[in-house]
Amino acid sequence: MSIGGYRLLKNINKIFISQTIRKASTKAEVNFQKRIFSGIQPTGGVHLGNYLGAILNWVKIQNEHSNITLSIVDLHSITLPQESEILKKRILEMTATLLACGIDPDKSTLFLQSTVPQHTQLCWQLSCLTTMARLAHLPQYKEKSEKLKDIPLGLFIYPVLQAADILVHKATHVPVGEDQAQQIQLAQHLAKIFNTKYGTTFPIPHAIIADDTSSRIRNLRNPTKKMSKSEPDPKSRIQLSDTSDAILEKVKKAVTDFTSEVYYDAENRPGVSNLMVIHSMLTGLSMEEIYQDANSKKLDTGKYKLVVAEAVANHLAPIREKINNYLSRPQYIYDILEEGRIHATEVAQKTLDEVNLKVGTILNTENNFVVS
């Protein structure tokens, strides 16, 4: 055989072996290490719905698992206009709040999204695998874009960045609210596309959706809607930073109905039922215990609101005190975020190197280009 023929045969064998390995890795069952990732935007203050529906769950998870990563997703927050100085302040407040609620930097990786550029780098890679039609069908885009005359590109593609947030850390599980389920489906979709095209690289992330009423704390002024940061009426939500007087005022003005008796019926009496859920979550009392207590004391809904307001104020007072304590030590907050950045970057860069090598945007050591 000639030298040219030998080289041709060798190259064909290399291509065949490479394709065989890729197909095998795609079909093989890869045992990914369990990793949990979640994020929260630093826009507006943390309200009771965030606390009961998400943050308490994160604290529980960090105490039960060894691998949870939490990000303050500031890049997501700028998909809509933000004042820079206010955003900086809110990032500090969000970090202080998470720490005050029980997030432990010794057990969890807590970092600021924008300080780990691998998130946006992977976002570009994933953007090349999805379509405009797919993104346009996502419900949150439809909801937010309806209110805007000019739609920022960031608002359109932010679900891809959300997928990158998850996949760059190779998260296997993502705690989310019910309204975020379709965004997780996009991350699953993109992971499958990438794995099929380039070989198994990402785990298929699974959504962890709370199966109790804590994830559905309702708007105080309109209990048919969930409690939300974006609601214009500040009386619609209880902030963790609210004083006892502010809490009392908001609970007293909470919309209920014309039936004075206190009992749980989420479908027909959403307002009173929402107050009972909040009361139960903060005290550990069951719905039956709350009903029996209110009945024995002959409490109508007006008087019951005072009981709920007291329970909320008592629970949030020490958290508010801790938040203020952390905010008085900004350097401590910076140090926590820097430690988180270092760890998050290490994980994210390893993933990005693997992605770039498979895609072809970085060369391997055989081509004299060293992968970090």
Domains of the chain: 36-209+329-367 (3.40.50.620), 217-326 (1.10.240.10)
Mean pLDDT computed over 61-82: 90
Q: Check if 250 is active-site.
A: no
Q: Which of 60, 88, 229, 253 is catalytic?
A: 229
Mean pLDDT computed over 302-306: 97
pLDDT at 364: 54
pLDDT at 356: 96
Mean pLDDT computed over 266-278: 95
**Cα–Cα dist 264/49, whole Å:** 19
How confident is the prediction for the chain on average, in pLDDT? Answer: 87
Q: Which of 170, 226, 250, 305 is catalytic?
A: 226
DSSP three-state, residue 149: coil
pLDDT at 81: 86
Q: Check if 89 is active-site.
A: no
Among 12-26, 38-52, 204-218, 300-314, the least confident range: 12-26
Helix (H) and strand (E) counts in the chain:
15, 5
Q: Check if 226 is active-site.
A: yes
Q: Could you write out the DSSP letters of every residue in 128-145? A: TTS-HHHHHT-HHHHHHH
**Cα–Cα dist 50/57, whole Å:** 10
Q: Which of 34, 142, 144, 170 is catalytic?
A: 144
pLDDT at 366: 52
pLDDT at 212: 59
Q: Which residues, 6+ apart, have CB-to-CB distance to 15 below 8 Å?
A: none
pLDDT at 280 over 90: yes
Share of the chain above pLDDT 90, in %: 72
pLDDT at 98 over 80: yes
DSSP three-state, residue 54: helix
pLDDT at 146: 76
Among 18-27, 63-72, 249-258, 308-317, the least confident range: 18-27
Considering only the C-alpha atoms of the chain, give the largest distance between any 2 of them, rounded to a whole number of Å. 100
Residue-wise pLDDT for 119-132, tens only, equals 999 999 999 999 89
Residue-wise pLDDT for 144-162, tens only, equals 777 777 888 888 899 999 9
pLDDT at 151: 82
Residue-wise pLDDT for 199-244, tens only, equals 999 999 999 886 655 567 999 999 999 898 888 899 999 999 999 9
pTM over 0.75: yes
